[in-house]
Structure 1
Amino acid sequence: MDPIVLAAGTALVTAMATDAWQSARDGAIALWRRVRPEQADIVEAELVEVREQLLEARRDGDADTEQALVGSWQVRLQQLLRADPSLAQEIKRVVDEVLTPALEPADQERIGSLVMKATASGHGRVYQAGRDQTINER
């Protein structure tokens, strides 16, 4: 999945629980209107429903539901990007200018993308991690 889609899905769902929910919704709807305008009204209604599910999950301390909602919107955004690869810059703009600023600092740290590439030839080894890593070799 494209790293910008991962960031966008996380930022969108996280922003749904903030006071900037309307801006987050408007930013997401603008993406749909560009690629699939016939679905924009349906997506808008679904965003309202998902927001209610998110708020309920947070009240109940249900992190699994919240993560499932994030994953669902990541998949939907990936489908938009596949339909129109030029949309990547617009998704990034919405993440950077609309969604991320609406989040608390701790939530802003969760948003972003990490792209790691490694190459090894011969008998070389490559170790990479997005965070902690322990290597025990004998």
Structure 2
Amino acid sequence: MAAHTASMFSIATGSSDPIYRQLIEQVRRLIAAAVLKPGDVLPSVREVALVLAVNPMTVSKAYNMLETEGLLTRARGVGMLVADGEKTQGKEKLLRPTLERAAIEARQLGLDDEAVLKLFKNILGENK
């Protein structure tokens, strides 16, 4: 059982996604990538709120929603743990909504498939 620090999270202040949603998506991705494993302890609500300079209720809301989904469990005296089981989504399923939004935006801009794929491949190469 590994304990993690709040520095594993970040927020994009200019994003149209609410902060609690950003946290939820980050936890989902970290679980899917096996950075967070079943039994791992998440940083406390207070710690995350202090590091990210957000309201503790925002972090609490994200953790509660993840608990409702079955991705996290609450352990008395320990905090929030990554749940055991196969509740995690596949990596492709997590990425799909982002790519769908990008595809819609590409269509609205009138870009052809080849140009979009070339741009995506360039971005993938830049972020290695």
- TM-score class, shorter-chain normalisation, is 0.3 to 0.5
Structure 2-normalised TM-score? 0.34
Compare the two structures and name the one with the higher helix fraction.
1
Which has the higher relative contact order, 1 or 2, with Cα contacts under 8 A spaced 6 or more apart? 1
Structure 1-normalised TM-score? 0.32
Compare the two structures and name the one with the higher strand fraction.
2
